[in-house]
A and B are shown apart, each in its own frame.
Chain A
Amino acid sequence: MAERRTRDVKPFLGKWALVAVPYLWSLLFFLAPFLIIFKISLSETAIAMPPYTPVIAGVSDLWTKLSDFTFDNYVFLTEDPLYYSAYLSSLRIALVSTVLLLIVGYPIAYGMARAPKSLRNALVMAVILPFWTSFLIRVYAWIGILKPEGLLTIALQGLGILGPNEQVHIYNTEIAVFIGIVYSYLPFMVLPLYAALEKLDATLLEAAADLGCPPTKSFWVITFPLSLPGVIAGCFLCFIPIVGEFVIPDLLGGSETLMIGKTLWAEFFNNRDWPVSSAVAVVLLIILVVPIVIFQNQQKKA
């Protein structure tokens, strides 16, 4: 009996260690930085280095200084319509971009999943190949393409679509932001879609055809519903980071595009208002927690 008991204990401990490691990891790399940001967001601005007066000096200080905590920064966010409209604009841009990504990504993933087996790995490589170049450089390259005297204008003039004195005015508009986002995030949409579509059993489509369902219809009643886990994964993988996107709207969107990432950056580096920008970040996180939780529930179901 005793022998049996010792055998039971070991896997039990091993199992806990297995569960604990990812939690420790999250604690270290996610929760700790978040608490620091949260703490900064509760302090007051100061023209100093660092540019805020720390409310808590140490753990022992915590209770004595608790009264010094201020939610002024959060109240400030609600008072200035700039933040409110930046959040809304970010959500709108992320939503539109995600829909565009889905429209562009689905046919690509579908084509990849239907390609001959020998080709598929090469196609997956092709999708992730851009990651070998710096993201920043690739976004800069789009400036070269989209600016009024850029490659796009030259190409269209060469094709005779534009007259010699006409130019494309996309750069520094929201359209350029959408182009940049769709381009940059495409792999994050295509790969989960591909994973879902590749799993799809081709005999299901044969069975549908056998029962009298033409191919276009069987796409909507069989293929698409069965790829939904991939659609959901792809959409959330794109939507969540796009909301906080800074580089693309900053480089391609000009002053016209309002996004929370840009506001945050301006608050942090231009105004050096760390507490307010930290508050902006915390609110952004809270906004994103909602889709993240929905996403996690969906993944659990799938």
Chain B
Amino acid sequence: MIEAVGPIKRKFAPWDDPALKPFIRFENVTKRFGDFTAVDNLTLDIYEREFFALLGPSGCGKTTLMRMLAGFEQPTEGRILLDGKDLSGIPPYKRPANMMFQSYALFPHMTVEGNIAFGLKQEGMDATSIATRVAEMLELVKLEKFAKRKPHQLSGGQRQRVALARSLAKRPKVLLLDEPLGALDKKLREETQFELMDIQMELGMTFLIVTHDQEEAMTVSDRIAVMNHGVIAQIGTASEIYEQPASRYVADFVGDINLIDGKVTAVADGVATLRCDGVDATIVAEAGPGGIAVGAEASFAIRPEKVQIAMEPPPAGTPNVLAGEVWDIGYLGDISVYRVRLAGGSIVKATVANLTRIVERPITWEDKVFLTWPVDAGVILVK
């Protein structure tokens, strides 16, 4: 075996090790506000040193989950364990978790420096160490020049960075980041993402991050939980979530996907045949997790980049062929998206990488095209 030179992300999968105990554990946690259930009987394990992302539509309970862990809300039912200890009854100021608030919650009467130093002062750290740490944090978020400003003298993105620096300054065992980078421009966001990953590795902290940016979740996190209406729809690594979505909901929520409805007509060796009357086609594909029965209503899910598009009809006997007409082409720089209209009127997307600086594309509007894909390119998901 060859030793890897330089930094390489270690194989890190504590969730696969049954001997390891989770560091943070939500155990059948339910949170109700009046008769509204924000978090519904949710169980979730997060391991030490893990970078864990929560993904989900607005209002699905992500912030509520974090606030319960930080101690601002009490679970209506269930309990939360940190390092094996039940957190109920421990006030927020005694919990070893720091939170970066979605609304930043910067202290308006303190300077940027004062905000960042606040948590350190509570610890009773000496003045020189505080000054060093604050300078370090300011450098990290690139706000050295703004140390003496008050929050209202900063831009939105600068404020967000102060909030991030303030929550990081104490180097907590657990850091909760509620949309930490949403207000930053793409370049700064990417830089900060990598900085965050470095810090997390270096200091061995456990991060729980909420983000609406799927790419961000996939970049930074070890595992992702996709939430929907207070429950977890799927937990897995980025590639598991993307390539093996457990449900139509997850498939649809994460990334771009084509969904074709049909009825299962045959199942053999984990490969199912789906009759799709809507598009007048028969699709053969791997069945998703959790078995599949003949006669079941199901959806075939395939990512646009796995669909091949061609002008010539494929050789006879090729599985999975759809014929259609190019309806629309979107040029995105690195890729082009072809929206193909099938006989039944439904649209299937196929993306093609722009490998050369083509001036004239071979396939253009209103061309008759054929869409094909191998048997293992998509999954069949039961409704």
Q: Would you call B99 and A210 a contact (CB within 8 A)?
A: yes
- Closest A residue to B67 by beta carbon equals A206
Q: How far is the CB of A76 from chain B (nearest CB, A)?
A: 49
Q: A206-B92, A225-B109, A226-B109 are in contact. Are A211 and B103 (CB under 8 A)?
A: no
A211 with B166: in contact, given A206-B72, A206-B92 (CB under 8 Å)? yes
A212 with B170, Cβ < 8 A, contacts A203-B101, A207-B101 known: yes
Q: Pick the contact of B70 from A201, A204, A210 — CB < 8 Å? A: A210
| Cβ distance B334 to chain A, nearest Cβ, rounded Å | 40
Determine the distance from Cα of A213 to Cα of B106 in the docked complex, in whole angstroms. Answer: 14
On chain A, the residues within 8 Å of B311 by CB distance are none
* B91 engages A207 (CB within 8 Å): no
Could you say which residues of chain A place their CB within 8 Å of the CB of B118? 208, 211, 213
- Tell me the chain A residues, 197-238 only, with Cβ under 8 Å from chain B: 201, 203-204, 206-215, 217, 222, 225-226
Instruction: Determine the chain B residues whose CB is within 8 A of the CB of A209 once the complex forms.
Output: 71-72, 91-93
Whether the pair A201, B93 counts as a contact (CB closer than 8 A) is no
For B93, give its contact among A204, A210, A225 (CB under 8 Å).
A210
Nearest-neighbor residue (CB-CB) of A217 within chain B:
B122
Majority-rule SS of A interface residues = helix
Looking at chain B's contact residues, is the secondary structure mostly helix, strand, loop, or mixed? Answer: mixed
Q: Could you tell me if B107 and A204 are in contact, using CB atoms closer than 8 angstroms?
A: yes
Residues from chain B with a CB closer than 8 A to the CB of A208 are: 93, 107, 118
A215 and B93 alpha carbons, distance in the complex (Å) = 9
Contacts of A206 in B (CB 8 A): 70, 72, 92, 101, 105
Across the interface, B105 reaches (CB within 8 A) one of A207, A217, A226, namely A207
Mark interface residues in B82-119 (1 if CB within 8 Å of A CB, else 0): 00000000011110011101010111110000000011
B191 CB-CB contact with A under 8 Å:
no
- With A206-B72, A206-B92 in contact, do A212 and B103 touch (Cβ < 8 Å)? no
Closest chain A residue to B70 by CB distance?
Answer: A210
- With A and B bound together, what is the CA distance between A213 and B93 in angstroms? 6
Report the minimum CB–CB distance from B32 to chain A (whole Å): 18
B10 shortest CB reach to chain A, Å? 31
In the complex, the 5 A-B pairs of residues with the closest C-beta atoms, listed nearest first = A211-B119, A212-B122, A207-B105, A209-B92, A203-B105
